[in-house]
Amino acid sequence: MELLGKVGTRWTLWVTRSPSVVFYCIDPSRSAAVPGAHFAGLQAQQAIIVCDCYSAYKKLARLALNILLAFCWAPMRRDFLDAGRAFAELQEWALEWKERIGTLYHLNRLRLEQWNPERCIGE
């Protein structure tokens, strides 16, 4: 889809989920203004954003103290592997991190097998 003044053809899908609603927003921008506008009315509640280390998310969290960033391990894993490929002296270190991240994913799968939403407090 073309948009006057937009460079490139990429769009960003923003997804917000709560216990009762899933909200999708497709926007030509990946700037902090998009989730900032969405969370503008957020008051005493806290929002947790699962994201990569893109600077717009960090800016958003600096501007809104009720927003907490939870960095996803998938992009971090790629960063470690890229560093290990680019620098031979980092390969072993990068592979150790890959294993640690794999362990986190495994433990999370085990946790989810036992998860019961009816036992959650506050939902």
The pLDDT of residue 122 is above 60:
no
Q: What backbone torsions phi and psi does residue 44 show, to the nearest 5 degrees? A: -75, -10
Q: What is the mean pLDDT of residues 91-111?
A: 96
Calculate the average pLDDT of the chain.
85
CA distances from 111 to 17, 20, 33, 68, 93 (A): 20, 22, 35, 22, 27
pLDDT at 70: 92
- Percent of the chain's residues with pLDDT above 90: 35
Record the tokens describing residue 80, joined without a space: 């470690």
The pLDDT, as a whole number, for residue 95 is: 97
pLDDT for 108: 93
Q: What is the pLDDT of residue 19?
A: 77
pLDDT tens column, 36-70 = 888 777 766 788 888 888 888 898 889 888 888 99
**Mapping DSSP to helix (H, G, I), strand (E, B) and coil, where does residue 67 land?**
strand
Q: Cα separation of 23 and 36, whole Å?
A: 14
Rounded Cα–Cα distance for residues 14 and 26 (Å) = 6
The DSSP result for 7-30, as a single string, is -SS--EEEEEE-SS-EEEEEES--
Across 83-91, average pLDDT: 97
